[in-house]
Amino acid sequence: MWCREDSRCLTQSAGVFPDPSYHNRVRHLGQAGTKNCSLKISDLRASDSGTYVFYLITSHPTQKMPGQRGIQLLVADSSSAVTMSASPSGGITEGDALRLACCSPSADPQARFRWFQSTSSSPRHDGQVWDIGDATSEDSGSYYCQMQTGDGVQSSTTLAIDVEYSPRNTVVSISPAGEPQGGLPVTLTCSSDANPPVHTYTWYRGAACLPAGDKSFHQATQSLAKPTGGGSAIGSVDISTEEYGPHCCVARNTHGSQTYSVTLRDTRDADDGNYSHNHPIKLQLALLSASRLCGSECKLLSVIRHEQIRTRACGEVEEDEDQEDSDSDTRTSI
């Protein structure tokens, strides 16, 4: 049977019904045993442009037809128009192979084709077909092709390419900014860059934030993400002093997820063991970076910063300079 790359099928098979838009316009010319799988499409329309794939369905348990790249069809609005198409036409994810094709029914065999991207006035590629392997987010943008013949130069209309990707550059910030005061609640804000953007952030606390922690057994808090532009979005949660400890934010979209963890701890006076609400909070930030929650390698970045403060009997406050020098260092473990 014949199908479009977007899973719309043109011919009928067991359990599969053809797309209504092709009703009475397609005919399978091949017959069983003739090794002919030709398809005829009548009354061509511009919407028929795309990639067509032939599937051979068998009942054999192991012998299956290998994957097909398909055949690309471009339907021009007129005999002189220059058209372009992309395969796949949508749902492009980082790492996918992208093919751009340009043609014209009246093209001279000696015609020269060049490709342009909206971000640059210089040609990006020469040739009628442009194969972009391992597409990245930088390949997103508007494209058009240009055909040059002895009669002049013709350009196609532009085609928008959107390459999607899983969350990245996920980070958690704490507010109020600066050195927080002990005994006061704080707000944790998670931000991430993703396409499509993160819709909702998931927050966990305690053992769920450990590298080997199974989050499916722990209670989660959801915070709605607010878009900030360019694929970025932020979400926040308020943390009371009773909830100090490990907290982690999971940014997720349809392509994967990334986790960032923060540990909040109260500091007690090392000399007398008495707790003071005026003592600063020691923040330990741990970045658990996993591009996808599928067991990929994690890197741990631990940044510990705090300042010990002693309280004299007279109520004056002084800094322990020796302690400050030793504790303000940044220690990184990878």
pLDDT, tens digit (0-9, with 9 covering 90-100), for 31-71: 767 778 888 888 888 788 778 888 777 676 665 656 666 77
Tell which residue, 180, 301, 190, 324, has the closest CA to residue 244: 180
**Is residue 147 domain-shared with residue 248, that is, in the same domain?**
no
**Token pair listed for 52:** 């067509």
pTM of the model: 0.63
Q: What's the domain count of the chain?
A: 3
Domain co-membership, 64 together with 101 = no
88-147 tens-digit pLDDT: 877 899 999 999 998 877 667 788 999 999 878 899 999 999 999 899 999 999 999 999
Chosen domain end from 100, 132, 161: 161
Query: Are 138 and 238 contained in the same domain?
Result: no
Rg (CA), the chain: 30
Confidence (pLDDT) at 295: 35
Structural domain of 244 = 166-327
Question: Are the CB atoms for 97 and 135 separated by under 8 Å?
Answer: yes
Q: What is the DSSP letter of 181?
A: B
CA distance linking residue 10 with residue 17, whole number of Å: 8
Whether 33 and 133 map to the same domain: the answer is: no
